[in-house]
Structure formats: C-alpha cells, structure tokens
Amino acid sequence: MISVAIMGHGVVGSGVAEILNTHKQKLFAAVGEEIYIKYILDLREFPESPFAQRFTKNFDDILSDREVRVVVETMGGLHPSYEYVKACLEEGKSVCTSNKELVAAYGAELLAIASQTNANFLFEASVGGGIPIIRPINQCLVANNVSEIAGILNGTTNFILTKMIRESMGFDDALKLAQELGYAERNPAADIEGHDACRKICILASLAFGRHIYPDAVSTEGITGITLSDVEYASVWGGVIKLIGSVKKLDKDTIDIIVAPMFVPGESQLSNIDDVFNGIMVRGDCTGDVVFYGKGAGKLPTASAVVADIIDSIKHLRSRKYLSWADSDNSSVLPAEKSVTAMYIRALSDDRAAAYDKTKAIFGDVHLLEKAGAPMTELAFITEPMPLYEIEQKAALLKSAGVSIASRIRIGDL
C-alpha cells in the first residue's frame, strides 16, 4: 500500500480523489499495490465526502508523515502552494501538480530540489489538461531537436472565438455565455488577456529548450480587442483567428516566444480545433509536426493526468524520472519588437482610395482583403513579414498621414 496526500479539494483535487476511488482496480493493476489517500488538505469542511475522516487543515500532518511518499498539489495559486510543495520535495516526497502558475513561476527551483532529494516533481496536468503532452515531449520526442511548439492552450478563449467564428456572436455575448456555461471565471482576465496561455507556453518552452522561461519575459496579448469584422476578414483570407501560444528556436541561444491572437490558415491542423478543446503542435527535426488534441481543462480530464503522474511517481520512488531544466535570466528570449511576422491590419480613413495609396507608399506591397458589405471607410490588408518594430514605425507613419488603425493581428506561420 502506498499512501498519498491531496492538497486542495477543489475541482481538480476532488477529481483526483474520485478517480483514485472509482478506478481502484485498474490503478492497482498498474502499480501492483493499493493507492491509499491518507490525507486531504483543505480549510473547508466536506462532511459528505467518502473521505471525510481523512481531511486535515494542518499541512504538517502531511509533511511529517513518513508514510506519505507522494503528495498531490491542486490548490492553485502561488502561496502557500509554493511553500508546501517545496517543503514536500525537501523531505523527499514526490509532488504531482496541476498548477501551471506554480510551475511557470518556480519550475526550475522545484525541479532542482527534487533532483537533490531524489524525488519526482511532475506536472502533466499543468498543460493541456487531459491531453498527454509533457511526457510525450520529454520521453517520446527525446530523439528530436524541437524547433517549434505552437498551440491553442486555453479552452475558454477558444470557446469564445469559436462562437464568434461559427455563430457571429460578439465578444461580450460569447464571454457571457462562457461564464454561464462555467467555462469562464467571473473574473475572466487570466484567460481572455492571455496569461493562462502564457504560463503554459512557458512550461512547454522550458521543457523543450532546457531553460526556464518566465512568463514576465513573454509578450502576451489577449483576445479582448478582436471584433467580428476581424473574424470575417480572417475568413476572407482563408483562415480563422485563434489565440496561439508559440515558441520557436531561432538559434542555440535565442527563442522567439509569444502569446497573441493570430490568423491561422485553414490548412493548419490548429484551425479545426474548436470550442473548449486544446491542440498543441510540436515540430521535431526527425518527426516533423506532431499534433496533440483533446480537452484542455475540466475536472476529470485534468485529474486523470494528475493520477497518471501519481502512478509514475510510485513506479519511480527510487529511480527518478528524468525531467528538468536549468534556471535562466530570460536572456534567451528575443525582444518582442524584433520578432518577424506578417501582419493583418484593418485601417480606417475618410478616403479609402487615398488610404490605399498611402499604405502602398509606406508598407510597399500588401495583400488587400475585400469583404462584401465592408464600410467604405475600411481598408484591410496583410503586410509582408517584417520585424514588429518596423510594423510599428510604418503604422505610426500611416497614422500621421490620417489613416487610423482599428485592428492588427499577426499572421501565424503554422
């Protein structure tokens, strides 16, 4: 019998307890012994829970119990998650977490502690919910030099964009619907402003490139500025707008990493990933593109990924899984303004013909997008690929020539 503790009895934590209970037989077959939930840490009371007797409000019960070899962290947030996880790892207890914020902020440090105490720090559930992604990148694609990872990493924003694309629903209505369906929080900022996707692409980038990339180094745009007009122009262009987290290796010391809405071409596998689903493309030098698709959130998908980590921890109580990356000072991140991209621009002016002439004079060749029923004041076009600072300069010139810019969205190279 192996004793585990679960810290946090919210959506994911209660799902972990549920799966350990409902899938007992299958899990017994997988590890060869029973997994026993000895403690559940939560400040709230759960008198109706089948595990009611095992609840504790005292973290030290878990920390000081030598029988507890594996601890699950599903509290979320940074504190006290960080302090608790660190203390467990220092005691040589393995930790399995679904907490992307924690991994993105403290991954390098916690992995280093785990390495010192021969414990495991695993976080399959932190990216892509139930989609296998951390282990496949780390183990299955180990014989590849990964050059790029790009993904739809946030289900809430993908649901909102899908409603805008398929049903011409406005952003505000789509957000409201997402909240009603429980896909979006009452305070949706972390999702719609791209911070959640940013944490996830940071974790994937750290894993693939071996250096911790901190979220504050990553240029992050959300989807709050996307209009139905932009959605329609994307369709005219032959694609859809998706919120993409992307990282590319430019050379051995430089990565280009960003979270932003992008025009995704219809041929891309990522263009068909709708609703709350996530999809992640990993480009390896041997495999070419590999895409992983599934439910990126939700109680049981996420909890089942945590349970897979528990199993793996139990099977590697003595031999550590190889999973680590070095700390870094973010110096390998290309400054956002040097990132090269083609750009969709929707401009407004009183005189469309004159605006087009000015655009050509400033941007050179652009690809005009013509949409039936577009206002006569609107000019939508796609620039050639160029560094972002150059686009900014040209956009400023356009503005001083009397043409204002209503939207600009990157063209994804996917």
Q: Which is nearer to a copy of itself, 325 or 381 (CB)?
A: 325
The CA distance from 6 to 16, in Å, is 8
Single out the residue of 37, 78, 140, 401 in contact with a copy of itself (rule: CB under 8 A): 140
Q: What are the φ/ψ torsions at residue 378 (nearest 5 degrees)? A: -105, 135
Query: Catalytic: 200?
Result: yes
Binding range to a copy of itself, per CB under 8 A, among 123-131, 163-171, 359-367, 377-385: 123-131
Single out the residue of 1, 43, 143, 372 in contact with a copy of itself (rule: CB under 8 A): 143
Sign of CA dihedral 21, 22, 27, 33: positive
Interaction between residue 144 and a copy of itself (CB under 8 A): yes
The CA distance from 193 to 226, in Å, is 12
Q: Which is nearer to a copy of itself, 118 or 393 (CB)?
A: 118
Q: Which is nearer to a copy of itself, 78 or 290 (CB)?
A: 290
Q: Which is nearer to a copy of itself, 290 or 348 (CB)?
A: 290
Closest-CA residue to 282 (of 158, 134, 89, 168): 134
Helix (H) or strand (E) holding 30: helix 24-31
The CA distance from 309 to 95, in Å, is 9
Q: Which of residues 311-340 bind a copy of itself (CB under 8 A)?
A: 311-312, 315-316, 318-319, 322
* Candidates 93, 200, 242, 394; catalytic one: 200
Sign of CA dihedral 134, 135, 136, 141: positive
Single out the residue of 13, 107, 130, 194 in contact with a copy of itself (rule: CB under 8 A): 130
| Beta-bridge partners for 343 | 410
Structure tokens at 387: 């560094």
Single out the residue of 19, 204, 258, 382 in contact with a copy of itself (rule: CB under 8 A): 19
Q: Which is nearer to a copy of itself, 139 or 254 (CB)?
A: 139
Q: Which residue type is seen at 282?
A: V
Interaction between residue 10 and a copy of itself (CB under 8 A): no
Q: Which is nearer to a copy of itself, 12 or 258 (CB)?
A: 12
Give all strands (DSSP E) within 79-226, no chain letters.
Answer: 94-97, 121-122, 146-152, 219-220
Q: Which of residues 271-310 bind a copy of itself (CB under 8 A)?
A: 272, 284-295, 298, 300-301, 303-305, 307-308
The CA distance from 300 to 290, in Å, is 25
Residue 42 and residue 8 in contact, taking contact as beta carbons nearer than 8 Å: yes
Interaction between residue 269 and a copy of itself (CB under 8 A): yes
| Beta-bridge partners for 256 | 248
Catalytic amino acids?
200
The residues of the shown chain that bind a copy of itself, judged by CB under 8 A, are 19, 23, 26-27, 29-30, 124, 130-132, 135-136, 139-145, 210, 269, 272, 284-295, 298, 300-301, 303-305, 307-308, 311-312, 315-316, 318-319, 322
